[in-house]
């Protein structure tokens, strides 16, 4: 990954240029102007209420905003200190959070025929927010487009290129979106029930900003039941994590690297014991900052796995109800459903903080 | 042996935990379970060394499996730290990797069986109790000197691992949450230990319901009797019964039997398990047999739900926020 300094400098220049053009309302602060907030995540509080929290670099909770129902993931604006938190499927709200004050700036809602799938991302310049959605009547995946420069007005929606889009990430070259279409159809009337396992087909679609899908990647037919759900990007390389819908004792590889230039999706092979410990399920996935390691969590089997690209080995750590993972210093920060935060680096895993809350599925590293 | 138990007793007296339930679960249940497993697997290896085709090896295998069922559900601590679960016990095995791995070793007459250090690198599918069962009871593995060497290599590693787990539990038992236990278990507090024991009870019950019972039951249209655990050694139902008895024992130590409804539900399930016959899994097309097994499966499921609701709430133990319903 390019150094943070370059990114910050680019960001500052961009802000200066945008401000010079008089295009922006002034009140929103940039990341460098706000306090030391480093992470955003959903939680369940001790009183069973659901909330969004901000975490600083000493792992303290800076704000705790109660919300009506469980949230899933978040996207942060590349320039301004705001993050958008998405409700968990089949959720119908997303909240724009001012990361300086911890206040909700805006509530995004959908028409009755769509619901959120819990993920989204910003365009590289921050002008647009993209959200993964289900068009309920047809069951087709949609990508919702919102103009962040115009108070997050809904602009349009495109086909996601499959059923059940989950995580979406932005790719710089070419300027496009990568969409993990998990392949599983659900309907709010049947809650989270999976309706099409007999025919499910998962893919990764690459979409231009015009909505045109330029490439689609699928797994071999024998891996049809691998639902491609989570993505992480570093140095324009995308890695993905799967959730196996068959017998988890016979789950195939659960991670893959996407090579957009030569059109290949390469599975990461691991030995029987390592794979079995992952329980057929990856809940979150993240590259390290330097892109040399890939970390994923398996909450159902209480395991965190770290794959090392240099030696092809996988190190695994026990972590009860491991959930979110984000790049942190030389390794990762992992959150758990029992309120613990762990740092992982070359020395191993360390418990760094315990809170009396349950951290939800994803931990989003800001800036 | 007397000296050993005196040692355990002394330790337990010196380091009594202030929190009732933890100490009892460890010293009355978990530690004795690991000690017995180490003893029985050691006897199994000794028997295999003498004569790997004798009835004594089979007897020792059954004794080892009996003791395994008293600790299988304890999946925290050293077994987790050293990632030994699968090399002790590789099941469920829907793709029959055990058969494939053992066949491959046998076909190649792989010399790796003569080197215990190198044998560690062999696939977990060809190790542990399930591989021993296969070699002892599957008649397609005919008696050869190679098979004998393979059994000895597996039993040697099994007893070595069992001994290692026993010794580490002796240390861990007295250091369970006031240290980080070599930075692996992260039991910061009694709450963490309680959660681990509670999870063991729940996951143990679920394993019996979903796998030991659910796999052979299959569907009404397609029962899968060949998926029953240890069907070759004719002990599939016995495993469920012994496992339930062990989990009940852990529950009683842990909670001081404070939950009468759960106590009753345990009794019902154990009585039901004892009324089942080993041949039942082979007669799943008989509606009466199927009904009996389905009812039993339902009893275990209700028991597990009752513990989560009743005990979890009262003891304020919260588990599996993401594990139970991930996305």
The domain locations on chain A are: 4-365
Mean pLDDT of chain A: 91
Q: Dihedrals φ, ψ of A83, to 5°?
A: -130, 150
Judged by CB atoms closer than 8 Å, whether chains meet at B327 and A337 is answered as no
Does residue B18 carry a pLDDT above 80? no
Q: Which of B179, B211, B246 is the last residue of a domain?
A: B179
* CA distance linking residue A180 with residue A240, whole number of Å: 8
Summarised one tens digit per residue, pLDDT across range A168-184 is 999 988 889 999 999 99
Judged by CB atoms closer than 8 Å, whether chains meet at B124 and A272 is answered as yes
Within a domain: B42:
yes
B83 to chain A: which residues are within 8 Å by CB? 273, 277, 316
Which has the closest alpha carbon to B207: B106, B327, B69, B29?
B69
How far is the alpha carbon of B320 from chain A, nearest alpha carbon, in Å?
6
HSE-up of B121 (CA within 13 Å, CB side)?
Answer: 7
Which residue in A46, A321, A354 has the most chain B C-beta atoms within 10 A of its own C-beta, making it the best mutation to test that interface?
A321
Judged by CB atoms closer than 8 Å, whether chains meet at B322 and A316 is answered as no
Mean predicted confidence (pLDDT) in B8-25: 61
How far is the alpha carbon of B246 from chain A, nearest alpha carbon, in Å?
22
pLDDT > 70 fraction of chain B, expressed in percent and rounded:
91
B195 to chain A: which residues are within 8 Å by CB? 320, 338
Of B76, B83, B323, the CB nearest to A300: B323
Interface predicted TM-score (ipTM)? 0.86
Angle (deg, nearest 10), helices B31-50 and B55-68: 160
Mean pLDDT of chain B: 90
Within a domain: B139:
yes
Summarised one tens digit per residue, pLDDT across range B207-266 is 999 999 999 999 999 999 999 999 999 999 999 999 999 999 999 999 986 799 999 999
Judged by CB atoms closer than 8 Å, whether chains meet at A320 and B319 is answered as yes
* CA distance linking residue B282 with residue B103, whole number of Å: 26
Q: Does B163 touch chain A (CB under 8 A)?
A: no
pLDDT of residue B270: 97
Categorize the per-residue pLDDT at A136 as very low, low, confident or very high, splitting at 50, 70 and 90: very high
Within a domain: B13:
no
Which residue in A69, A222, A276 has the most chain B C-beta atoms within 10 A of its own C-beta, making it the best mutation to test that interface?
A276
Within a domain: B274:
yes
pLDDT of residue A260: 81
Instruction: Give the count of domains, chain B.
Output: 2
Summarised one tens digit per residue, pLDDT across range B66-92 is 999 999 999 898 998 889 999 999 999
* CA distance linking residue A23 with residue A20, whole number of Å: 8
Of A247, A322, A351, the CB nearest to B94: A247
Q: Dihedrals φ, ψ of B38, to 5°?
A: -65, -40
Judged by CB atoms closer than 8 Å, whether chains meet at B183 and A348 is answered as yes
Does residue B1 carry a pLDDT above 80? no
How far from chain centre, in Å, is Cα B127?
A: 15
Within a domain: B323:
no
| Chain A / chain B CB contacts < 8 angstroms | 91
For residue B92, cis peptide bond before it (omega within 30 degrees of 0): yes
Summarised one tens digit per residue, pLDDT across range B281-316 is 999 999 999 999 999 999 999 999 999 999 988 888
A300 to chain B: which residues are within 8 Å by CB? 323, 326
How far is the alpha carbon of A100 from chain B, nearest alpha carbon, in Å?
29
pLDDT > 90 fraction of chain B, expressed in percent and rounded:
77
Within a domain: B276:
yes
Q: Kindly identify which residue of chain A lies nearest to residue B80, measuring between CA atoms.
A: A318
Summarised one tens digit per residue, pLDDT across range A16-42 is 454 444 444 445 788 888 878 999 999
pLDDT of residue A9: 44
pLDDT of residue B178: 58
Judged by CB atoms closer than 8 Å, whether chains meet at A283 and B83 is answered as no
Q: Which two tokens stand for residue B64?
A: 């080892």
Summarised one tens digit per residue, pLDDT across range A325-351 is 999 999 999 999 999 999 999 999 999
Judged by CB atoms closer than 8 Å, whether chains meet at B81 and A337 is answered as no
pLDDT of residue B114: 97
Please tell me whether residues B229 and B103 are part of one structural domain.
no
Q: Kindly identify which residue of chain B lies nearest to residue A351, measuring between CA atoms.
A: B186
Residue-wise DSSP of B93-157: -TT-HHHHHHHHHHHHT-GGGG-HHHHTTS-GGGSHHHHHHHHHH-TTS---HHHHHHHHHHHHH
Judged by CB atoms closer than 8 Å, whether chains meet at A321 and B95 is answered as no
Q: Does B221 touch chain A (CB under 8 A)?
A: no
Of B186, B195, B326, the CB nearest to A351: B186
pLDDT of residue A267: 97
Which residue in B188, B215, B321, B324 has the most chain A C-beta atoms within 10 A of its own C-beta, making it the best mutation to test that interface?
B321
Which residues of chain A have a Cβ shorter than 8 Å from any chain B Cβ? Answer: 44, 72, 88-89, 118, 166, 192, 229, 243, 247, 249-250, 271-273, 276-277, 281, 283, 299-300, 302, 316, 318-323, 336-338, 340, 342, 348-351, 354, 358-361
pLDDT of residue B184: 47
User: Do residues B318 and B312 lie in contact, with contact meaning Cβ atoms separated by under 8 Å?
Assistant: yes
Q: Which of B132, B160, B179 is the last residue of a domain?
A: B179
Judged by CB atoms closer than 8 Å, whether chains meet at A338 and B81 is answered as no
pLDDT of residue B325: 74
Dihedral-angle region of residue B294 (phi above 0 means left; psi in -120 to 50 means alpha; beta otherwise): alpha
Q: How many CB atoms lie within 10 A of CB A139?
A: 14
Please tell me whether residues B195 and B155 are part of one structural domain.
no
Within a domain: B14:
no
Please tell me whether residues B214 and B175 are part of one structural domain.
no
pLDDT of residue A323: 94
Distances, alpha carbon A344 to alpha carbons A182, B51, B137, B305, in Å: 28, 48, 45, 35
Judged by CB atoms closer than 8 Å, whether chains meet at B321 and A337 is answered as yes
Mean predicted confidence (pLDDT) in B19-48: 94
Judged by CB atoms closer than 8 Å, whether chains meet at A320 and B199 is answered as yes
How far is the alpha carbon of A150 from chain B, nearest alpha carbon, in Å?
31
pLDDT of residue A225: 96
pLDDT of residue A15: 47
pLDDT of residue A345: 96
Which has the closest alpha carbon to B61: B237, B239, B273?
B239
Q: Which two tokens stand for residue A158?
A: 């495109």
Summarised one tens digit per residue, pLDDT across range B38-66 is 999 999 999 999 999 899 999 999 999 99
Q: Which domain holds residue B207?
A: 190-314
CATH of the domain at B83: 1.20.1420.20
Please tell me whether residues B171 and B197 are part of one structural domain.
no
Global confidence as pTM:
0.90
Does residue A120 carry a pLDDT above 90? yes
Please tell me whether residues B175 and B196 are part of one structural domain.
no
Please tell me whether residues B164 and B74 are part of one structural domain.
yes
Sign of CA dihedral A275, A216, A127, A15: positive
Categorize the per-residue pLDDT at B171 as very low, low, confident or very high, splitting at 50, 70 and 90: confident
Please tell me whether residues B130 and B200 are part of one structural domain.
no
pLDDT of residue B104: 97
Summarised one tens digit per residue, pLDDT across range A304-330 is 999 999 999 999 998 999 999 999 999
Does residue A6 carry a pLDDT above 60? no
Mean predicted confidence (pLDDT) in A136-147: 97
Judged by CB atoms closer than 8 Å, whether chains meet at A351 and B319 is answered as no
Of B186, B192, B326, the CB nearest to A361: B326
Judged by CB atoms closer than 8 Å, whether chains meet at B321 and A360 is answered as yes
Please tell me whether residues B164 and B199 are part of one structural domain.
no
A342 to chain B: which residues are within 8 Å by CB? 186
Mean predicted confidence (pLDDT) in B181-189: 60
Q: Which of B149, B179, B209 is the last residue of a domain?
A: B179
Mean predicted confidence (pLDDT) in A199-220: 95
Fold classification of A4-365 is: Methylamine Dehydrogenase; Chain H (2.130.10)
Sign of CA dihedral B133, B137, B141, B147: positive
Please tell me whether residues B45 and B171 are part of one structural domain.
yes
Within a domain: B320:
no
């990461």: which residue's tokens?
A268
pLDDT of residue B115: 97
Judged by CB atoms closer than 8 Å, whether chains meet at A361 and B83 is answered as no
Does residue A3 carry a pLDDT above 90? no
Of A89, A299, A342, the CB nearest to B322: A299
Does residue B10 carry a pLDDT above 60? no
């Amino acid at each position: 990954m390019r150094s943070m300094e370059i990114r910050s400098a680019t960001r500052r220049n961009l802000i200066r240029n945008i401000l010079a053009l008089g295009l922006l309302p002034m009140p929103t602060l940039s990341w460098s102007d706000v306090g030391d907030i480093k992470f955003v995540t959903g939680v369940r509080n001790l009183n069973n209420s659901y909330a969004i929290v901000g975490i600083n670099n000493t792992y303290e909770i800076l704000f705790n905003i109660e919300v009506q129902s469980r949230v899933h993931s978040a996207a942060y604006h590349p320039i301004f200190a705001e993050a958008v938190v998405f409700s968990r499927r089949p959720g119908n709200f997303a909240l724009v959070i001012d990361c300086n004050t911890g206040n909700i700036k805006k509530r995004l809602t959908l028409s009755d025929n769509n619901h959120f799938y819990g993920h989204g991302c910003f365009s590289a310049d921050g002008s647009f927010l993209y959200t993964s959605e289900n068009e309920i009547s047809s069951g087709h995946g949609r990508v919702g487009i919102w103009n962040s420069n115009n108070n997050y007005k809904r602009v349009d929606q495109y086909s996601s290129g499959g059923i059940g889009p989950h995580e979406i990430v932005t790719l710089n070259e070419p300027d496009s979106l990568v969409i993990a279409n998990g392949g599983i159809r659900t309907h709010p009337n049947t809650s989270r029930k999976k309706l099409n396992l007999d025919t499910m087909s998962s893919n990764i679609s690459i979409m231009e900003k015009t909505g045109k899908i330029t490439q689609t990647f699928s797994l071999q037919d024998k891996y049809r039941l691998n639902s491609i759900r989570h993505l992480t990007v570093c140095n324009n390389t995308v890695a993905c994590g799967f959730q196996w819908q068959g017998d988890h004792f016979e789950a195939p590889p659960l991670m893959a690297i996407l090579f957009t230039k030569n059109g290949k999706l390469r599975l990461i092979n691991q030995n029987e014991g390592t794979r079995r410990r992952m329980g057929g399920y990856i809940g979150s996935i993240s590259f390290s900052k330097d892109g040399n390691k890939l970390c994923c969590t398996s909450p159902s089997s209480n395991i965190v796995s770290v794959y090392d690209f240099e030696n092809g080995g996988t190190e695994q750590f026990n972590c009860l109800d491991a959930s979110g993972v984000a790049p942190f210093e030389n390794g990762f920060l992992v959150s758990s459903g029992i309120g613990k935060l762990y740092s992982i680096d070359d020395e191993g895993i360390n418990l760094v903080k315990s809170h009396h809350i349950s951290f939800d599925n994803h931990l989003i590293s800001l800036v | 042996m007397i000296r050993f138990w005196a040692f355990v007793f002394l330790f337990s007296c010196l380091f009594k935990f202030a929190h009732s339930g933890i100490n009892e679960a460890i010293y009355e249940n978990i530690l004795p379970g690991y000690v017995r497993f180490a003893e029985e697997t050691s006897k199994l290896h000794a028997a295999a060394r003498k004569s790997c085709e004798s009835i004594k090896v089979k007897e020792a295998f059954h004794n080892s499996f009996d003791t395994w069922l008293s600790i299988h559900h304890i999946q925290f601590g050293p077994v987790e730290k050293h990632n030994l679960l699968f090399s002790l016990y590789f099941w469920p095995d829907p793709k029959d990797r055990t058969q494939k791995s053992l066949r491959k070793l046998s076909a190649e007459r792989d010399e790796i069986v003569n080197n215990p250090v190198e044998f560690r690198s062999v696939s977990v599918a060809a190790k542990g109790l399930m591989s021993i069962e296969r070699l002892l009871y599957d008649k397609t593995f005919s008696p050869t000197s190679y098979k004998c060497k393979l059994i000895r290599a597996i039993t040697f590693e099994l007893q070595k691992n069992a001994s290692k787990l026993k010794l580490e539990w002796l240390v861990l038992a007295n250091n369970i949450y006031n240290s980080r236990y070599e930075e692996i278990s992260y039991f910061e507090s009694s709450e963490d230990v309680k959660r681990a024991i509670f999870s063991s009870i729940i996951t143990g019950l679920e394993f019996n319901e979903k796998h030991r019972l659910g796999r052979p039951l299959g569907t009404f249209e397609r029962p899968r009797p060949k998926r029953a655990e240890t069907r070759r050694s004719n002990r599939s139902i016995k495993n469920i019964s012994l496992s339930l008895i062990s989990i009940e024992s852990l529950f009683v130590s842990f909670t001081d039997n404070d939950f009468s409804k759960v106590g009753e539900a345990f009794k019902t399930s154990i009585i039901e398990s004892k009324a089942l016959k080993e041949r039942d899994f082979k007669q799943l097309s008989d509606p009466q047999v199927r009904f009996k097994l389905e009812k039993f499966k339902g009893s275990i499921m209700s028991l597990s739900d009752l513990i989560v609701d009743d005990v979890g709430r009262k003891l304020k133990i919260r588990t599996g926020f993401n594990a139970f319903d991930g996305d």
